[in-house]
Structure 1
Amino acid sequence: MPPEAHRELSELRDRLAQRLIAVRRAMRGHFLAEGLAWFAAALVLVAAITLVLDWRLELSRPARIGMLLLAATGCAWLLYRRLLQPLLLPMSPLDVAAAIDRTHSGPASGRLASRVASVLELPDARVDPSSMSPELVVHAVRKNSQELENVSFSRHLNSRHLWLSLAAVAVAVAIPAGFAAAAPSVAKLWRDRWLLGSDRPWPHTTAIEVVGVRDGRLIVPRGESTGLQIKVTDTAEETETVWMRMQSDDGGDQTVTLNRFAAGDFRFDLPPLQQPANVTMWGGDGRAEPFRIEPLDRPKFTSLKLTATHPREKEVQAFDFTAGEGNVRLLPKTVARLEFETNVPVAEVRVKGDGTGPEGFVAIDDRHFAADWTHEGQVRLETVLVARDSGLESFPRPVSIGEKADRPPTVTLRHSGVRLRVTAQATIPVTLTVRDDYGLRNASLNVDVDGPSTPPPVDDEDPAKAGAKPEPASPVPSPVDPEPASAEASTEPSTSAPPKRGELTTPMFGPAEPAIELSVEQQTSVEIGALAVSPGQAVSVWAVADDDCYTGRQSATSRKITFKIVKDEELFREILLRQQQLRARLQKAYEQMLDLRERMKVAEIASDGANLLRSYLLTRREIAAVSREIGASLLEMRLNKLGGEESWRLIESTVTKPLARLQEQELERQKQGLETLVTSEPESMDSLIERQQAITDALKIILANMSQWDSFIDIINQVNSIIKIQEGARRMTEDLKSKQVESIFDN
């Protein structure tokens, strides 16, 4: 066959093949539309059947799953038979022509397939010249091709079949869509039950709803009793009873009747649960959606710690609230950090605060949270945790952090040895005690003179100072060492400080940097003679101390002790009067001792021993009190410089020391002897009487010395008065002489 003829025949073949392929594509479109119509109709039918059956029979989940499997099998077979199998048929162009020949009649009836075969197959056939003429082959192909050009293959397809199939598909889609629009709640419930596996029941005249159920789960705190509330809605007859069946994972099965709280309101108290349980409820003609009770841990604090650092303190304070920490208080300006850890992941921390504390907590991770703030006052927090997984809330956890006040120092000033009436030359021992809760910075002793002061007389023994104003000494010497070995205050005035008028301040401690001392006790003496005061004036003594508070130094002042300055004679008379009263008390004790001696002579040890001991102890106690007061009056005379050294030694040697020896020796031995009278081995009465006689003799001597003391003191006072008169006359003479000399030089 010539190449030109072969090329022509190939073009005719390809043109015809393309026409038949287009027909094959259209046929498959028909197959697809018909298959989809069948499949959509089947789905609608299955949905309708399942809706009716489930509405009427309230099918269980296993029954619904079985029906879905059966329906899926049928739909899959129908999908394969009506859609996939026709689409997968291997149709060649010649098969398409044969299919058209089998289904239609017309001009090409019975001859369409043979013509198509001639055009499609002869161009590629090997022509043997001995058996077939090439010219005849070319002629046959051209002729059949011309005849097929006038044949419309697509005209043989049934367009009505295509439109009916598409309409069936549209109807199958419109039916469920319209139903969903008309009854959305029913469609949604069918979807949930058949496609999402929900067990929510179909609505009937009785609707049962369990409060708190979400997605078939009811979360309750593990190990805690929980109240269950069920709401029942009736459109017809009111439901009187609702039952509940609870099946736990450990095999327990229990059916209970719920308590009717009110119309449409049923309650039940769930016991503490540790394992999950499946629950179903029913009542009237309705059923509640089956749900699962899942006990989960309620969020709680596993640790709650507070760390605090004050700018003045290097160490970090730590408080553990979970370890039973007591009242926690912080100083102002303390940098505080409150941290806690929870047992489960937490989604939210709700804080209700009262005070100046933190407004919220920052999450470190889902179990650790922290809050930082600067403490300015009392903090009250109430914290509630919300669990991330369960949504359970913790019990409110109160936290209270108080304010620790840096209190001002406490200052105590005590005087000893003298009373509030002193002479102008008195020495007043004082003890200053200062305490602070965090640290003392300084302390001072203040002395103030009320009223005008008069200069003291000039010392005539120093001619260099004659006619000049005296330089008074500092009224308060340096504080003495408070240790017992040197606790006695010095009575020598110091001349290191210049004279001052009005208030005088003497440092007693500090200033200390840093202030770390919490307690300071200092002993010193106030020298009244250095103040140049006169009778009728008053001297006030008080102490002032400062701490080193971080927010500002705080001062505190002791009570003010005011001493009245009186004349020497006036105070001497008061002291002598008290000593005379003490002598009268000692005289009475002496008489009681004499009476006790007489009673001992006629006493019976068995019956009178206890009474003798009691009387003796009372009298001895009185003697001890008189001895202490006589010693105190002697010290008061020394400090006020009354009477002089000779009178002080006289009182000490004739009264105070004998009284002290009497108490330490005879009185103590007599007490021990009288105590044996109430035992099984009493001391002999003769020895007791002999010792009692010695005691009375000693008291008699002391009383006689006190009588001589009064007379001696009177003589000394008279001599002192004469000396003072002479001193006054001498000063007046010296003043007159000085004025005369000055007048001569002035002229």
Structure 2
Amino acid sequence: MSVADPERIDQSALRQAQARVMRRLDRLRRALRAHLIVEGMFWVVGAVFAAVLVSLLLDRWLRFDPPTRWVLLALALAGIAYVVYRRLIQPLRVPLEYLDLAELLDRRAPGVGQQISNVLQLPDLLTAEDHASASMVQASVLDCAQALDRRDLDGTLNRQRRRKLLGEVGVLLGLALGFAVLAPDVTELWARRWLAGSPVRWPQQTYLSVQGVGDDGVLMVPRGELALVQIDAAPEFEEQGDGRFSVAGRGKTPLVVESTAVPKSVPPQGVSVSYRLSDGSKRRGNAEQFDETRFRYELPPLAEPATMHLTGGDDWLGPILIEPIDRPAVRSLEISALRPGASQPETIRVGEGTSQLLFLPKTQLELTLVADAPLSAADALNTGQPASGWSRQDERTYQLAWTMSESMALEFRLRGQRGELLSKPYFLAIGLLKDREPRLTIRAAGVGRRVTPVARLPLFVRANDDFGLGNLALDWELASIREGKQHVETEQLPLADLTPPDENTELLTQFEYDNELALSDTGLVAGNVLKLRGVATDASALGEQTGHSRWLQFQIVTPDELFYEILMRQREQRAQFAEALESAKAQAKGLAELDGTAALPGLARSQQVINRRVWKVANQLSASLVEMTLNDLANEQARDNLQSAIITPLETLHADLLSRLRAEIDAVGRGGQVAEDKRAEAQALADQSVEVMESILAQMALWESFIDVINQLRHIVEQQSDILKDSEEMQQERTESLFVE
């Protein structure tokens, strides 16, 4: 096979053919890239439009919070970026060389790709050492070039699809632009919420807020107590300018609403509450509506934090952290009191003692309250009104200073800095201590209201004062008849000076004076009326005060008159004792005739009556003996006789025989039958008691006879004294008459 001379080949024709094909392929490449750009733009615009539409609808429906929007926006941008890369960047990065275009064209028009390859690649064979026939290469290239010239390569592209995609892109952009023009507020709000991260909410009908929630989103409640969550469905909006309004009490992220006017909230039909406890358990409930726009929910006592969510109408809020904290309380309460007359104040710690807080008028007081936690405020009320002088010293300490003039009923209310929780009311009563005048009691035991001029009055005076006694005295008032007129003499007899010798000695608040007042040296006569009362002064710093006891009044009578009264009382006691003796005899007879237990209760009661009568007679006679002694009636021998022969035997009778007799009577029928041995013992004691009583009654009669004899002798002596006195007066008159003559 002969080889042609390469120089005889028409190189220009080959180059022209290649150039024509390459120019057409270049145009085809540009058209294809434009087609890829249009299709990529369609996918990108569609993805963006879908993301915007879905975000708008879901956000309008579900009202995502900023963190959720940020996450969803990041996912949307990632998806759009993927579409941009997959549908736009990656196709455009394909090099689309001539042979690549030939391969693509061959898919649409079979054979075209081979023709393009022949035109572009066959001339390269002419440069190889073992090149093919030049004429054949030339002929093939030119034939393929002519065939390609007859082909519409641009027609292989789907221009209708590109126009459709461009139209659809225009429609999507038109829809977006039209929506932005028709609803600019919605568009702007969407853009600000999704692109600017604004917390501004979509317009809604209901707005809720929880009272007590701070800017940190924490609701503080009392630890271990039932707590009411107050929910307001018509909260107050705070204008921030530029048509923006905010609502507090919704957690960490405040609610911002844009409106030309103050938004209005429509109360929902109900508010649901859900909260999660520290142990992970969840609880749900419905708030109770107690006002047109207000709801409340009662939380159980909490010791650990919990989180809460609320939903009502088209509004919701949360999570709100519920943190249990302790209420503020009073750690210490001290009162500094400078009492009148004192040089140094006294400090009193309230609650450490049991004594009441009582202070004198003009006492200078300073109360210091210290709380156990920092306070934002503290109130002190006196009988429901703010106390004057209440001042803040620091975040825990408050003071109240005043001068005591009236009783105070203080109430303290503390408000803590954390949570603004109120303390439980703390009440404190401070009373006004009135320094009363001294209180005195006086009595004269052993004498009656009628005494002789020589009586000895056993005075007992007791004085008490709140803070200290100064002096104790006795007021004396003597009433007599002189020249037919009543004459009253008064005198004060000092009894004791109770003033302390120095400042270190404490004042006496109680003093007892027990002594006898002898009337023999006072010149009293029968017919006088003597009145006595105790009087005391105190050592009050507010001024001396005087107190008095009641009056003791004594009628001064002659010894004969008083003695006669006492004898009448003694005779009355003797008559009662005689009746007791008759009862004792009847009892002894009953014991002797006892034949059954039926009569024992009556005998026991009779014995009890006898005991009481004997004891009463002994006491009355003993009292009359004391009165006789103090009034110096009868003589000492007669009084000793009364004591030894009558009173002492009566006391012994009551303590010994009668007591034993009562016990034996009770023992007679103890077994349900009459015990003969016990009856015999009781009979013996009864007979012995009768004998003793008869002996005492005889001594009573003897004592009265003895007194009658003494009185008769005294009267005889007095008559003799009167006769002697009259004789001396007559003798003196005769002697004087002789000298006169």
Equivalent residue for 1:559, pick from 550, 560, 572:
550
CA distance in 2, matches of 1:687, 1:564: 52
SS of structure 2 residue aligned to 1:506? strand
Asked if the contact 1:64/1:194 (under 8 Å) is kept, the reply is no
CA distance in 1, matches of 2:670, 2:192: 108
CA distance in 1, matches of 2:570, 2:198: 109
Deviations 1:9-51 (A, max 9, x none): xxxxxxxxxxxxxxxxxxxxxxxxxxxxxxxxxxxxxxxx99x
CA distance in 2, matches of 1:690, 1:249: 92
**Equivalence map 1:220-619=2 (5 Å):** 220-223=220-223, 224-231=226-233, 239-243=268-272, 246=275, 251=280, 258-259=287-288, 265-274=294-303, 281-284=310-313, 286-288=314-316, 290=318, 292-297=320-325, 299-309=327-337, 311=339, 316=346, 318-321=348-351, 327-334=356-363, 336-354=365-383, 359=388, 361-363=390-392, 365-452=394-481, 502-508=490-496, 510-513=498-501, 514-604=505-595, 606-619=597-610
Alignment match, 1:635: 626
CA distance in 1, matches of 2:585, 2:535: 54
1:390 positional shift: 2.7
1:336 positional shift: 4.3
CA pair 66-579 structure 1, distance change in 2 beyond 3 A: closer
Asked if the contact 2:369/2:397 (under 8 Å) is kept, the reply is yes
Greater CA drift, 647-656 or 185-194: 185-194
CA distance in 2, matches of 1:408, 1:202: 81
Which amino acid in 2 is paired with 1:640? N
SS of structure 2 residue aligned to 1:577? helix
Percent pairwise identity? 25
CA distance in 2, matches of 1:226, 1:393: 14
Asked if the contact 1:428/1:639 (under 8 Å) is kept, the reply is yes
SS of structure 2 residue aligned to 1:451? strand
SS of structure 2 residue aligned to 1:377? coil
Deviations 1:390-426 (A, max 9, x none): 3333333222222344443332212122211112222
**Equivalence map 1:650-729=2 (5 Å):** 650-679=641-670, 683=677, 685-728=679-722
CA distance in 2, matches of 1:249, 1:695: 91
Which amino acid in 2 is paired with 1:626? V
Deviations 1:265-285 (A, max 9, x none): 55444444555555555555x
SS of structure 2 residue aligned to 1:366? coil
Asked if the contact 1:439/1:548 (under 8 Å) is kept, the reply is yes
Asked if the contact 1:673/1:683 (under 8 Å) is kept, the reply is no
SS of structure 2 residue aligned to 1:695? helix
CA distance in 1, matches of 2:459, 2:600: 47
CA distance in 2, matches of 1:632, 1:306: 57
Q: 5+ residue gaps in structure 1?
A: 1-48, 74-181, 455-499
Deviations 1:353-375 (A, max 9, x none): 24999635555542344444444
CA pair 299-187 structure 1, distance change in 2 beyond 3 A: farther
CA distance in 1, matches of 2:350, 2:676: 65
Greater CA drift, 578-587 or 286-295: 286-295
Alpha-carbon RMSD: 4.7
Asked if the contact 1:229/1:267 (under 8 Å) is kept, the reply is yes
SS of structure 2 residue aligned to 1:381? strand
**Equivalence map 1:58-73=2 (5 Å):** 58-62=63-67, 64-65=69-70
CA distance in 1, matches of 2:659, 2:529: 45
1:561 positional shift: 0.9
1:347 positional shift: 1.9
User: TM-score if structure 2 supplies the norm length?
Assistant: 0.61
CA pair 598-682 structure 1, distance change in 2 beyond 3 A: closer
CA distance in 1, matches of 2:350, 2:659: 59
CA distance in 1, matches of 2:513, 2:631: 22
Asked if the contact 1:342/1:367 (under 8 Å) is kept, the reply is yes
Which amino acid in 2 is paired with 1:505? L
CA distance in 1, matches of 2:656, 2:272: 100
Deviations 1:530-589 (A, max 9, x none): 221222221111111233333233332111110111223322221222122122112222
Greater CA drift, 60-69 or 630-639: 60-69
Alignment match, 1:93: none
Aligned positions, number: 540
CA distance in 1, matches of 2:432, 2:265: 65
Alignment match, 1:177: none
Which amino acid in 1 is paired with 2:587? L
CA distance in 1, matches of 2:437, 2:656: 50
Q: 5+ residue gaps in structure 2?
A: 1-51, 79-183, 236-262
CA distance in 1, matches of 2:515, 2:440: 15
CA pair 685-337 structure 1, distance change in 2 beyond 3 A: same
CA distance in 2, matches of 1:261, 1:365: 39
1:330 positional shift: 3.7
CA distance in 2, matches of 1:324, 1:511: 30
Asked if the contact 1:409/1:437 (under 8 Å) is kept, the reply is yes
User: TM-score if structure 1 supplies the norm length?
Assistant: 0.61
Alignment match, 1:217: 217
CA distance in 2, matches of 1:521, 1:186: 101
CA pair 281-451 structure 1, distance change in 2 beyond 3 A: same
Greater CA drift, 210-219 or 61-70: 61-70
CA distance in 2, matches of 1:508, 1:62: 93
Which amino acid in 1 is paired with 2:687? Q
Asked if the contact 2:233/2:265 (under 8 Å) is kept, the reply is no
CA pair 379-739 structure 1, distance change in 2 beyond 3 A: farther
CA pair 269-732 structure 1, distance change in 2 beyond 3 A: same
Asked if the contact 1:228/1:270 (under 8 Å) is kept, the reply is no
Which amino acid in 2 is paired with 1:61? P
Deviations 1:235-274 (A, max 9, x none): 7998545555556676555665555556555544444455
Deviations 1:453-501 (A, max 9, x none): 79xxxxxxxxxxxxxxxxxxxxxxxxxxxxxxxxxxxxxxxxxxxxx95
Which amino acid in 1 is paired with 2:451? V
CA distance in 2, matches of 1:742, 1:357: 98
Alignment match, 1:171: none
1:633 positional shift: 1.9
1:728 positional shift: 4.9
CA distance in 1, matches of 2:739, 2:509: 64
SS of structure 1 residue aligned to 2:555? strand
CA distance in 1, matches of 2:636, 2:615: 25
1:515 positional shift: 4.7
Asked if the contact 1:220/1:226 (under 8 Å) is kept, the reply is no
Asked if the contact 1:670/1:691 (under 8 Å) is kept, the reply is yes
Alignment match, 2:118: none
CA pair 519-287 structure 1, distance change in 2 beyond 3 A: same
Asked if the contact 2:365/2:401 (under 8 Å) is kept, the reply is yes
